[in-house]
Chain A
């Protein structure tokens, strides 16, 4: 049997509709049935993607932001201009990060949402730097302890920070 609608393909779908007691039967091919909306599966999920608003939009890079930078400037090391960077999206060498620091700041906040690396450190730096990072974390805790007037904890944290600071000074010397 051919499809009643396109009269070309073989009808494999039988659509029965009952409207106000009037029953109509149509034999359609899958393509026409889909076109008429008979193959769409209805949805009965009772909830939504509730997690979609968990984090703010953090990736939206405005091209205008890039062009606002001082375009005449070039990297003293590889001579890449900021204009060239804005076009290609890639730096020429690792020194470009320093050369274009002012423009980079706004951009990183847009692209990355933050400008402070808190992840892995190269082994050659991990020693002193790792301790510094620990000190920063403890300082945060110290402030919190003072805020809630937990002076016992604050004193303990202060001592810990002192020990770490001494280690850093020895390491630097």
Chain B
């Protein structure tokens, strides 16, 4: 690694441009929630019980491939605040996990496709990340880790209602699959509200990647299953995939419409974003995210041939506050971060 700080590389599995098979779907995450039968759920655990949990999971991993060189295990106290912030900005851990990392543990694979959080809302949360729309492959990755861990751990499981979780909204499969989608054309044509209303009825939820609802920055949304019980893992994923494909088709239609009916306006918007990215001297996070959304649309539609997806993905992660500050290693004022951000974006455009 170029940097001596952990997780400081911008590259992460879900953000691999070459592997993305989809313009509209950026990434897939599958999470399995598991708990040990013998311990209370994390929010009610004593410090000693938390240690016991980390030790038990650590022991179970040791004799499986999870204990081999492809994976790293850290206890909460081994990570600095900055390293936690970097993991959060890569969307590999939850804000809840980043906020309370002592007496927690994390297992992370070298390519960051597998991240296991220990001691979050549930004892163990296995996450599998992949670029593009790859629900089945992501589930297979998470299942594999679950199979390895259960060799040494006794999961809380009920004959009728399945895997038991701290919150009954996860009980059964413990499965939450989330897909990150980029919906600029639906946002521009005012169709998102309609879409969000429909999602609830389908047992799915939509959240902005940054911020809630349609206020999200950069037209990036996360769509995930709400129901975890009564359907098999495969059925849950198949249902989500059907809806994702329909949303993608709607977004594509809206893009085609913009391209044919609003040609000048669309080109103008994309090239203005390119102008901002090329010449701005300060960029807030929101302005950068909105700019990136337009640039990505331009690349997808073949309008911005001078840019590629690798650059966009690099900006998406590297343009966030802690990635910008990581070299200095100290907190900067918001205005100073915005100057760094603009300079970073210009650098990526110059091929740095």
Contact = CB atoms under 8 A, between A and B. Distances in A.
Contact of B143 (A97, A107, A120): A120
A91 B166 contact: yes
Nearest to A111: B169
Interface stretch (B74-82, B103-111, B200-208): B200-208
Interface in A82-98: 88-94, 97-98
Max chain B Cβ within 10 angstroms of own Cβ: one of A77, A112, A123, A124: A112
Contact of B161 (A51, A97, A122): A97
Given A94-B37, A114-B230, A115-B230, A49 B195 contact: yes
Given A44-B257, A91-B41, A119-B173, A55 B201 contact: yes
Given A90-B167, A107-B168, A117 B161 contact: yes
Contact of A118 (B151, B167, B232): B232
Contacts of B164: 91, 94, 97
B203 A90 contact: no
Interface stretch (B127-135, B211-219, B221-229, B314-322): B221-229
Nearest to A46: B253
Interface string A53-68: 1111111000000000
Contact of B200 (A40, A43, A59, A113): A59
A107 B167 CA distance: 12
A58 B203 contact: yes
A52 interface: yes
Contacts of A124: 150, 154
A80 B233 CA distance: 30
B147 A123 contact: yes
Contact of B175 (A43, A44, A119, A122): A119
Nearest to B234: A119
Contacts of B194: 49
B160 interface: yes
B261 A122 contact: no
A93 B41 contact: yes
B201 A108 contact: no
A125 interface: yes
Contacts of B238: none
A90 B160 contact: no
B230 A113 contact: yes
B263 interface: no
Given A49-B195, A119-B233, A90 B162 contact: no
A120 B175 CA distance: 10
Nearest to A55: B202
B169 A57 contact: no
Contacts of B172: 112, 117, 119
B190 A111 contact: no
A107 to B, nearest CB: 7
B36 to A, nearest CB: 8
A5 interface: no
A77 B188 CA distance: 54
B44 interface: yes
B159 A45 contact: no
B159 A115 contact: no
B73 interface: no
Contact of A51 (B158, B190, B246): B246
Nearest to B139: A120
A119 B201 contact: no
B44 A115 contact: no
Max chain B Cβ within 10 angstroms of own Cβ: one of A97, A122, A125: A122
Contacts of A53: 201
12 contacts: A40-B190, A41-B258, A51-B246, A58-B227, A77-B40, A91-B166, A97-B168, A107-B168, A112-B168, A114-B229, A117-B230, A123-B147
Given A51-B246, A113-B203, 12 more contacts: A49-B246, A49-B250, A52-B197, A52-B202, A55-B203, A77-B40, A91-B41, A91-B164, A107-B168, A114-B229, A119-B173, A120-B143
